[in-house]
Amino acid sequence: MLIVMQMDAEAEQIDAVVEVVEQRGLKAHPIVGAQRTAIGITGNIGIVEPALFQHMPGVLEVIQVSHPYKLVSREFHREDSVFEVAGVKIGGSELVVMAGPCSVESYEQTLGIARAIKASGAHMLRGGAFKPRSSPYSFQGLGREGLEILARVREETGLPVITEALDIDVLDEVVEFTDIVQIGARNMQNFTLLKRAGRCGRPVLLKRGMSATVTELLLAAEYIMDQGNTQVILCERGIRTFADHTRNTLDVAAFPAVKRISHLPIIADPSHAAGYRDKVLPLSLAALAAGADGLLVEVHDRPDQALSDGGQALLPDDFEELMTVLRSLAPVLARVLPEHATP
Ligand code: PEP
Ligand code: MN
């Protein structure tokens, strides 16, 4: 932390700041400039509370120099984190594609979509059993029945599964049935859920909150890692802006921004970013070109009858086209798109 003093700060005011620093067992390093003095602080573990100094006489501003996160940062772990989930590599040079319906609606629907996406080359099946809906009157998901359907379809197709844990009450049940636990955008700062997910023994896909900064996303991941879970996948799914031509705005710059700071893999959800099927393919390409490690895409065979998010769901043929384009794009980006992750 750096405390910048006002130009006319008096020597006693500088001394008073130094005294507060030293009272806390930290070291103060006054740097006397031509116009003003700044005081550097060292010896702190974690963040020093800025409020300690902000309102002291003679203080102009308090600047945070070090970052509030550690486990997620490249300073802690230089290389990209790469891990395997049920035979699927996440991170590193390989791209991962997770696809499926927004909601699990029935066994037949889920199996049909799973077969189609597998034939096109998807590596994992997505599908929500517990749905976070804006309205309490909208379809809330099949709950446990949905989890059981996912397990049966996993058995049938060999595709590993990712599904959302909506709260701590259902986390253990979800863990029983899924390969990756999804934490949704609305829960990105549900700290109780994050801590529990950090102890759940499964990899976690953490979606960026719709109004969260990259720093807040990384701090949310830090909560999970702090509990001992090193297998965290970040997901950029679009943020709220004034733009109304899409449901959310895919923050393409988030990929290089995260990669610069963090070793964690980050994938894109172009479906919730776009909100409209026709924009899913271009946003997928933009995300991968910007450094995303894969995609989480919604696919439905009868989107007009889908119980949630039909407008943004790709038809199986659209998904086939997306995978074909990805096969050409991957080598250009020096990435590998594995043919099939599961036997
Ligand atoms: C979803 O994946 O279906 C979902 C609800 O996503 P988000 O949390 O990003 O809105
Ligand atoms: Mn959805």
User: Is pLDDT at 343 greater than 70 in this prediction?
Assistant: no
**CATH code of 170's domain:** 3.20.20.70
Residues 271 and 207 in one domain: yes
In a domain? residue 341: no
Is 13 inside a domain boundary? yes
Q: Can you give the length of the chain in residues?
A: 343
* pTM across the whole model: 0.92
User: Is residue 31 very low, low, confident or very high in pLDDT (cuts 50, 70, 90)?
Assistant: very high
The token duo for 268 is: 């894109």
pLDDT tens digit sequence for 105-123: 999 999 999 999 999 999 9
Query: What band does 289 get if pLDDT is binned at 50, 70 and 90?
Result: very high
**Domain termination site, one of 13, 30, 63:** 63
Residue 307, domain extent: 83-332
What is the number of other CB atoms lying within 10 angstroms of the CB of residue 19? Answer: 11
Res 251: pLDDT = 98
- Does 75 fall in a domain? no
In this structure, the answer to whether residues 144 and 224 fall within a common structural domain is yes
pLDDT surpassing 70 at residue 292: yes
Pocket probe for ligand 1: among 150, 207, 295, the residue whose CB has the most ligand atoms within 8 Å is 207
CB of 123 closer than 6 angstroms to any ligand 1 atom: no
pLDDT classification of 66: cutoffs 50, 70, 90 = confident
**CB 184 less than 6 A from any atom of ligand 1:** yes
* Rg from Cα positions in the chain: 23
Last residue of a domain, one of 63, 96, 115: 63
Dihedral of alpha carbons 59, 61, 62, 63, sign: negative
146 CB under 6 A from ligand 1?
no
Q: Is the beta carbon of 185 within 6 A of some atom in ligand 1? A: yes
pLDDT above 70: residue 85: yes
Phi, psi of 11 (to 5 degrees): -55, -35
Q: How close is the Cα of 51 to the center of ligand 2, in Å? A: 41
Q: Are residues 135 and 14 in the same domain?
A: no
Q: How far is the CA of 233 from the centre of ligand 1 (A)?
A: 15
Q: For residue 64, what pLDDT band results from cuts at 50, 70 and 90? A: confident
Q: pLDDT confidence of 44, banded at 50, 70, 90? A: confident
**% of the chain exceeding 90 in pLDDT:** 93
Judge whether 69 lies within some domain: no
| CA 298 / ligand 2 centre spacing (Å) | 7
Q: Which ligand is nearest to the CA of 185?
A: 1
Q: Are 330 and 336 in contact (CB under 8 A)?
A: yes
Task: Identify whether residues 99 and 25 lie together within a single domain.
Answer: no
* Nearest in space to 319 (alpha carbons), one of 100, 162, 102: 100
Burial class (CB in 10 A: 0-12, 13-18, 19+), 308: buried
- HSE (side-chain half, CA atoms, 13 Å) at 263: 18
Residues, CB-to-ion distance under 5 Å, ligand 2: 102, 309
Number of domains the chain contains: 2
Same-domain check for residues 117 and 25: no
Question: Is residue 198 domain-shared with residue 251, that is, in the same domain?
Answer: yes
Residue 340 has pLDDT above 80, yes or no: no
**Structure tokens of 161?**
């599964």
Mean pLDDT, rounded, of the chain: 96
Nearest atom within ligand 1 for CA of residue 208: 9
The residue contributing the CA closest to ligand 1 atom 3 is: 102
How high is the pLDDT of residue 69? 87
Confirm or reject: Cβ of 128 under 6 Å from ligand 1: yes
- What is the model's pLDDT at position 301? 98
Q: For residue 52, what is the domain's CATH number?
A: 3.30.70.1140
Ligand 1 atom with minimal separation from the 272 CA: 9
- The C-alpha atoms of residue 266 and residue 206 are separated, in whole angstroms, by 9
Check residue 313 and report its DSSP letter.
P
Check whether residue 47 and residue 113 sit in a common domain: no
Distance CA 43, CA 17 (A): 16
Give the DSSP H/E element, type plus range, for residue 11: helix 11-23
Tens-digit pLDDT profile for residues 166-223: 999 999 999 999 999 999 999 999 999 999 999 999 999 999 999 999 999 999 999 9
- DSSP letters of 136-150? TTS----THHHHHHH
Split at pLDDT 50, 70, 90, the class of 3 is: very high
CA angle 327, 331, 334 (to 5 degrees): 135
Report whether pLDDT(341) > 60.
no
Nearest atom in ligand 1 to 185's CA: 8
- Between the two ends of the chain, the Cα-to-Cα distance in Å is 53
Q: What is the distance between the alpha carbons of residues 129 and 124, in angstroms, rounded to a whole number?
A: 16
